[in-house]
Amino acid sequence: MKMPYAVGNVMKKVLIIEDEQDLADLIAFNLEREGFCPVVALDGRSGLDSALADPPDLIILDLMLPGIMGTEVCRLLKSREKTAAIPIIMVTAKGEEIDRVVGFEVGADDYVVKPFSTRELMLRVQAVLRRTGPERPAGTILRIGPLVIDTERHEVTVGDEAVTLTTTEFKLLLTLAERQGRLQSRERLLKDVWGFAYVGDTRTVDTHITRLRTKLGEAGELIKTVRGFGYKLEAE
């Protein structure tokens, strides 16, 4: 069945880095049917080369790869300026270091656990693209303590130092900043930042908050944890 949102996906490039040819082909087939332009790389090295040469809109990355592991590929992609903002969905086996994968160390934007249905993967792809896609035409500068957010240019600075954030981290920070001083539950953040179709758990919010705080340095203290409930961003 063709999804109603297929039209919006036309020409969006998705890079699949997966060493199992059959699985890679199956994912590519389904992406194509949804209107995407899939590209397959069968190992980490060629995946990295492809992403750097012609950055895709999204990457589906297998954790277990020959040569360079998926976690390392992800870390490398997130550390290069050219590829840092590309959302990455990690494909893992059950119990395979999921905390590390979506946490600070590796930094994937989302994950699916093998075996997954292609339908589930397609929903994840849509959800990730929706929450990382371009929106917000009206630009404003938000200043909270040492933190400055340019909502139009998607730039964040802390005391004149530029901070490089992934699209999800930026959206999370902006959501908290726009609701300054107001407590946001994990569920609310998950819904507003990750989108309705996201079926992950609230740990995802916690790992992203941890990563965001670290990246923000002294401004990280602006994000307050409200035990058992959620977070709020507030000046001292």
Quote the radius of gyration of the chain (alpha carbons, Å).
Answer: 18
Q: Which residue's CB comes closest to Ca ion?
A: 64
Q: How far is the CB of 204 from Ca ion (least distance, A)?
A: 23
Nearer to Ca ion, 91 or 177 (CB): 91
Nearer to Ca ion, 77 or 127 (CB): 77
Taking CB under 5 A as the criterion, which residues in 47-76 touch Ca ion?
62, 64
Q: Which two tokens stand for residue 12?
A: 């969006």
Residue type, 118: T
- Would you say the C-alpha torsion 132, 136, 139, 143 has a positive or negative sign? negative
Taking CB under 5 A as the binding criterion, the range among 19-27, 79-87, 126-134, 191-199 that sits at the site for Ca ion is 19-27
Nearer to Ca ion, 120 or 178 (CB): 120
Q: How far is the CB of 83 from Ca ion (least distance, A)?
A: 21
Nearer to Ca ion, 17 or 212 (CB): 17
Nearer to Ca ion, 63 or 148 (CB): 63
Angle at the Cα of 199 from the Cα atoms of 116 and 18, rounded to 5 degrees: 35
Whole-angstrom CA distances from 211 to 3, 214, 223 are 34, 5, 12
Q: How far is the CB of 32 from Ca ion (least distance, A)?
A: 21
Nearer to Ca ion, 64 or 142 (CB): 64
Q: Is 196 left (phi over 0), alpha (psi -120 to 50) or beta?
A: alpha
Q: Are strands 230-233 and 184-185 parallel, antiparallel or unpaired?
A: antiparallel
How many residues bind Ca ion (CB under 5 A)? The answer is 3
List of residues 6+ apart from 67 with CB closer than 8 A: 43, 44, 45
Q: How far is the CB of 62 from Ca ion (least distance, A)?
A: 4
Taking CB under 5 A as the binding criterion, the range among 18-26, 52-60, 159-167, 219-227 that sits at the site for Ca ion is 18-26
Contact call for residue 19 and Ca ion (CB under 5 A): yes
Q: Which two tokens stand for residue 34?
A: 């949804």
Assess contact for 202 and 177: CB atoms under 8 A.
Answer: no
Taking CB under 5 A as the binding criterion, the range among 17-25, 35-43, 122-130, 180-188 that sits at the site for Ca ion is 17-25
Q: How far is the CB of 65 from Ca ion (least distance, A)?
A: 6
Eight-state DSSP code of residue 14: E
**In the complex, which residues of this chain contact Ca ion (CB under 5 A)?**
19, 62, 64
